[in-house]
Chains A and B, each alone.
Chain A
Amino acid sequence: MSLTHQDVARIAKLARIAVTDAEIEAVGAQLNNIFGLIAQMQAVDTDGIEPMAHPQDVSLRLRDDVVTESDRREAFQAIAPQVENGLFLVPKVIE
């Protein structure tokens, strides 16, 4: 497998990371090296092996459906880049 410049641009787009044309070459080469390392996996026979997500194979707990958080809006918004009237501001999305 070898990623083209187009592939790298698409991945960067999906990851929401701006990559300049000048960076694509170097980033692509590094990603290809990493995928070269990862490719070792494909030679391993894993038929019938159960995938493992948690070492103890525990299932997620359910909690009671009650309010557990207090209202800390002010503290949380004090560290936000842009707020107004208790709302987080983002650039206009709908014209």
Chain B
Amino acid sequence: MIPAELVPGALRFPVNLPSLSGHYDTMINATLKALSQQLAAKAVSSEELAGLYLNRIAALNPVLNAFITVDGDKTLAEARAADALRAAGQAGPLAGVPIAHKDIFCQQGWKTSCGSKMLDNFISPYDAHAIEQCRAAGLVTLGRTNMDEFAMGSSNENSFYGPVKNPWDLAAIPGGSSGGSAAAVAARLAPVATGTDTGGSIRQPASHCGVTGIKPTYGVVSRYGMVAYASSLDQGGPLAQTAEDCALLLNVMAGFDARDSTSLERTKEDYTRDLNKPLNGLKIGLPREYFAEGLAEDVAGVVDGAIAELKKLGAEVVEISLPNTQLSIPAYYVIAPAEASTNLSRYDGVRYGHRAAEYKDLVDMYEKTRAEGFGAEVKRRIMVGTYVLSHGYYDAYYLKAQKIRRLIANDFKAAFERCDVILGPVAPTAAFNLGEKSGDPVQMYLSDIYTLSVNLAGLPGMSVPAGFAANGRPVGLQIIGNYFAEAKMLNVAHQFQQVTDWHRKAPAL
């Protein structure tokens, strides 16, 4: 048995939290960029900042459920270490800025549950590559954010720890699977957060919570230490208030890592390099299929408004077609479950994680452990994957889906011959209500229509706050770029954010 003292309590705050300083409102709403400047100017210490955010988490997390684990003493220790580095003149630009990590990134000494009962007792013995990079940059861990179990879900209702509430409307889902990260940034419980995106899990919650998020090109952020869901699609990325902050955090997270066999060997880029370029002559592709039946009128209105803003900045619009868009749903729901059934076979109750209390033999132990440890959606996807990979069905399902995946990638290839970026909605509607679709998996899957094809093609995609739906819930604009066009997409988003203030709006809490 694992000693109880090794398993951290859900939320632990230091007995003596630093008291709120006069900076509170300014600091809580500040961007990553602004906080790094304040720290450099020694207007605030990292310890003071960490205290401010921990206070806010203590006050608001009981309502929002955005964090699974908070360990205030650890956070303050990291903050003091960052302050010491700064005093010694050795701090990098982002040292001392607080960050929240999605509970999917293994972090040494922290519970890494991945939203599952299966890993409720798992204290990671090592760091994910993305975590190593954040630690090296001196970013201070505020805690671990809630998510759909094993990143399977679009609403955060599949978390073992209960759903996250949308800070804009507590009756609404925050989106998923990085719902805790998106809600934390929106509610100013953290200035920035990490997330992962397998079928839309950064972009869709960013859209629903009114924050900015980017999923990089597949292979740009290492998957080492990122609990695996569908390995050929999984990709980590940042969520923040602004495109500029996303660029700064992506600079930290990205980079070649030999321990991920699909990590791409490329020269390190500066993703902030093109932020200030004018958009004159930018060619925006609008896929006919993204504006067809099924898109809510108010969401379409917000997207149209954003396109009009970009035209004012000198962009031109061309109509394009992505004819196989509809097929992204069946192809994704074969490929992702197939890879998940393989990846999740590691949870056998032997080396780590949950083990059933009673069993009669080895197979019985496996079956009970997995029946108890996994939630309903995870079991469904494992079973779908098991079936499509079983003897005699491989060609009809997995191989067929991999061929359709090629057709989808070819659609984008043709489209990018005619435009620089593709714009469209992130989701067909603004955030739906908690409980609205949780009883019908297929309805839930259909809401992923505009995000899945980007993962299947391996392209970068982002969501930028662009307005509000009729019910007052945020709506994001999706920007899709060609392979390795992150700097271009961030340029478009940053220029958009210079002339709009949707990204500065925060929910009243």
Assembled-state Cα–Cα distance A54/B399 (Å) = 13
Determine if B407 and A33 form an interchain contact, defined as CB atoms under 8 angstroms apart.
Answer: no
Q: Interface majority SS on B: helix, strand, loop or mixed?
A: helix
Q: What are the interface flags for B260-304 relative to A under an 8 Å C-beta threshold, 1 for contact and 0 otherwise?
A: 011010000000000000000000000000000000000000000
Q: How many residues of B contact A (CB 8 A)?
A: 74
The answer to the question of B380 belonging to the interface, with a C-beta cut-off of 8 Å to chain A, is yes
Assembled-state Cα–Cα distance A54/B217 (Å) = 11
A residues less than 8 Å from B313 (CB atoms): none
The answer to the question of B401 belonging to the interface, with a C-beta cut-off of 8 Å to chain A, is yes
- Max chain B CB contacts within 10 Å: which of A30, A50, A55? A55
Determine if B386 and A11 form an interchain contact, defined as CB atoms under 8 angstroms apart.
Answer: yes
Determine if B441 and A30 form an interchain contact, defined as CB atoms under 8 angstroms apart.
Answer: yes
Assembled-state Cα–Cα distance A51/B217 (Å) = 19
Q: Interface majority SS on A: helix, strand, loop or mixed?
A: loop
Determine if A88 and B362 form an interchain contact, defined as CB atoms under 8 angstroms apart.
Answer: no
By size class, the interface of chain A is 35 or more
Within 8 Å by CB of B330, from A41, A72, A92, lies: A41
Assembled-state Cα–Cα distance A83/B333 (Å) = 38
A residues less than 8 Å from B312 (CB atoms): none
Taking the closest CB of chain B, its distance from the CB of A27, in whole angstroms, is 7
Determine if A49 and B232 form an interchain contact, defined as CB atoms under 8 angstroms apart.
Answer: no
Q: What are the interface flags for A19-53 relative to B under an 8 Å C-beta threshold, 1 for contact and 0 otherwise?
A: 10000000100110111111111101010011111
Q: A17-B374, A76-B351 are in contact. Are A81 and B329 (CB under 8 A)?
A: no
Assembled-state Cα–Cα distance A31/B341 (Å) = 15
B residues less than 8 Å from A31 (CB atoms): 380, 383-384, 387
Determine if A37 and B329 form an interchain contact, defined as CB atoms under 8 angstroms apart.
Answer: yes
Determine if B363 and A16 form an interchain contact, defined as CB atoms under 8 angstroms apart.
Answer: yes
Between-chain CB contacts (< 8 Å), 14 pairs: A14-B386, A17-B379, A36-B442, A37-B442, A44-B404, A46-B400, A52-B406, A53-B232, A55-B457, A58-B262, A60-B261, A72-B125, A91-B362, A91-B364
